[in-house]
Structure 1
Amino acid sequence: MKLFAGCELIYDVPAPAPVVLMLRPRSGAGQWIISEEYEIEPHTPVVEYTDTYGNLCQRLVAPAGPFKIRISLTAETADAIDVAPGAPYVPVQDLPDDTLQFLLPSRYCQSDRLGPQALDITAGAIPGYDQVEAIRSWIQAHITYQYGTSDATTSAVDTAEKRMGVCRDFAHLGIALCRSMSIPARMVVGYLYQLDPMDLHAWFEAFIDGRWYTFDATQKEPRGNRIVVAYGRDAADVALATQYGPMTLQGMRVWVEEKK
């Protein structure tokens, strides 16, 4: 499906503040970026670089006063995500070097504290894809999706204890449980067609049988028509805007529409 998607961020900036933005998706598996438009008001010099996870990042200094960022894009997306029941687990010694970092505990994904729970959830599952699907299914069934129940400090352990959260929390828990089973897992942020309510979305991917597979514990069934914006170990690596000075978000709008 061809999608028209984007977001608009409006800030109040009391004094010039350095910012790193992560808003530009790249073409890749399941998506082709046909066109995009990036607007910053007032005009500000921008330097772009690629981070260690392959994400496109934009560095700038936001000037004092009202500051608006708007990105819109058209992308061709896959209508379905790949599923592979029975796909085998990859032993750690056989994993590609660049996946090993996604086995380690991280700020929001304390995999070293969730091993016993992961074993309970995956009991009887074939090692590999079926274990991750058991984790995804358990989160979808046992964690309540509810706004206002978590914040920027909430971790996977917190979510496992409170049994509620939002997409970011669902992804963190899935990642931590996978890593505790020695399955590489990474955070993904982007757009999902017909997400309700509409917002930027988070899910996770796990490395199985030599490739990455998509898992989204907020959804009952596999859904395609996604646009990936960024990958990382957890939310700390995929913030849409990282500010190094006072800036207050005054408004945010996100849209994902089918483009005929």
Structure 2
Amino acid sequence: MWLEASSTLEFNIETPSPFVLMLRPRSGMQQWIAREEYVLSPSVPAVEFTDSFGNLCQRLVAPVGHFSIRISVVIETANASDTAPGAPFVDIQQLPDETLPFLHPSRYCDSDHFTEMASSIVAGLTPGYDQCSAIVDYIRKNIQYTPGEGEQNISASELNGLGRGVCRDMAHLGIACCRALAIPARMVVGYLEGLEPMDLHAWFEAYVGNRWYTFDPTQADLQGGRVAIAFGRDAADVAIYTQFGPPVELLNLDVKVQETQGPTR
């Protein structure tokens, strides 16, 4: 399916402020970008680099006054995420090197606290994909999804105690449980067609059956187009913008995703 997706961020800047942005999706196995527009207003010099997870990042200094960032893409993506019940666990010694950072505890995915709980959730299941599915089922049954309420990042342990959270928090819990079982898991931030209310979205991927598979505790199924913008160990790695210096005011964040006919000549 073809999607047109866009994000517009508007700020009030009181003093020149350095930013690192993470707003540009990349073409890959599950998505292909046909057209892209990236507009800074007012226009300022920007430098792009690729971080250690392969994400496209932009550095700039925002000037005083009203400053806006708008990025839009026309992108071809799958109309449903791949599933693979029964896909096997991959032994640690057989894992690709690039998956190894996603085995360890991280700032918001304190997987070392979930060894017993994760083992209990997946008891009797074949190691691999089916364990990840059981973890997602546990989160859906025990954590209330409350979109729009999560202003502060919280850890997987905090969410498990609180019992309610946003997509980011629920992804953290899924990742922590997978890592507790020695399954590499990473966070994804991007767009999801049909999301209500519309916003940027977070889910996670787990490495089983020799590839990454999508899991989303907030959605009843994996239908609908997804556009991945950034990958990381947890939310600390995938912030769409990081601002340095005195805090600035975010006036507006507007996200739009709609199905389209694809690029025109």
Same fold (TM over 0.5): yes
- Residue 94 (structure 1) shift: 1.2
Identity of counterpart residues, as a percentage?
57
Residue 60 of structure 1, CA deviation: 0.2
Please report how far the alpha carbon of residue 223 of structure 1 lies from its aligned counterpart in structure 2 after TM superposition: 2.0
2: CA distance between counterparts of 1:29 and 1:130? 23
Is contact 1:149–1:164 with CA below 8 Å preserved after alignment?
A: no
Write out aligned runs for 1:23-102 (5 A). Answer: 23-102=23-102
What amino acid is aligned across from residue 215 of structure 2 in structure 1? F
Count of equivalent residues:
260
Describe the SS at the equivalent of 2:138: helix
Look up the match of 1:259: 260
Q: What secondary structure does 2:198 align onto?
A: coil
Q: 1:89 to 1:139 in 2, by over 3 A?
A: same
Gaps of 5+ in 1: none
Cα deviation per residue 1:153-207 (whole Å; 9 max; x = unaligned)?
3111011111110000010000000000000000000000000110000000000
Match of 2:161?
A: 161
**Which whole-Å deviations, capped at 9, do the CAs of 1:113-140 have from their partners, x for residues lacking one?**
0111111111111100000010011111
CA–CA distance in 1 between the matches of 2:29 and 2:157? 31
Please tell me whether residue 247 in structure 1 is matched to residue 248 in structure 2.
yes
Question: Are residues 176 and 232 of structure 1, via their aligned partners in 2, closer, same or farther at CA, if it must alter by over 3 Å?
Answer: same
Q: Which runs of 5+ in 2 are unaligned?
A: none
Letter in 1 for 2:260: K
Task: For residues 9-62 of structure 1, give each alpha carbon's deviation from its aligned partner in whole angstroms, at most 9, with x where no partner exists.
Answer: 000111001100000000012111010100000110000000000000000001
Contact 1:118 1:135 in 2 (8 A): yes
Distance 1:149 1:158, change over 3 A: farther
Offset at 1:147?
A: 4.0
1:116 match: secondary structure: helix
Q: Which residue of 2 aligns with 1:22?
A: 22
**Structure 2 Cα separation of the partners of residues 115 and 150 of structure 1:** 26
* Distance in 2 (alpha carbons) for counterparts of 1:148 and 1:77: 26
Contact 2:147 2:197 in 1 (8 A): no
- How do 1:165-184 and structure 2 match up within 5 A? 165-184=165-184
After TM superposition, the structure 1 = structure 2 runs for residues 84-123 of structure 1, keeping only pairs within 5 Å, are 84-123=84-123
The alignment partner of 1:134 has SS state of: helix
The answer on whether the counterparts of 1:80 and 1:222 sit within 8 Å (CA) in structure 2 is yes
Letter in 1 for 2:170: F
Q: Which amino acid aligns with 2:172?
A: H
Secondary structure of residue in 2 paired with 1:109: coil
Mapped to 1, the partners of 2:250 and 2:148 lie a distance apart of 17
**8 Å contact 2:153–2:169 — kept in the other structure?**
no
User: How far off its partner does 1:149 sit?
Assistant: 5.2
The runs of at least 4 aligned residues of structure 1 exceeding 4 Å deviation read none
C-alpha separation between the residues in 2 aligned to 1:101 and 1:162?
Answer: 27
> Aligned letter for 1:249?
L
Change (3 A) 1:153 1:193: closer
Look up the match of 2:191. Answer: 191
Q: Which residue of 2 aligns with 1:131?
A: 131
CA, structure 1 residues 148+200, in 2 after alignment: closer, same or farther (shift >3 Å)? closer
**Aligned AA (1:220):** A
Give the drift of 1:150. 3.8
AA aligned opposite 2:140: Q
In 1: Cα distance, 2:148 partner to 2:117 partner: 25
Contact 2:178–2:206 at 8 Å: present in 1 too?
Answer: yes
User: Partner letter of residue 259 of structure 2?
Assistant: E
Q: Report the 3-state secondary structure (helix = DSSP H, G, I; strand = E; otherwise coil) of the residue aligned with 1:118.
A: helix
Please tell me the residue identity of whatever aligns with 1:8: T
Give SS of 1:11's match.
Answer: strand
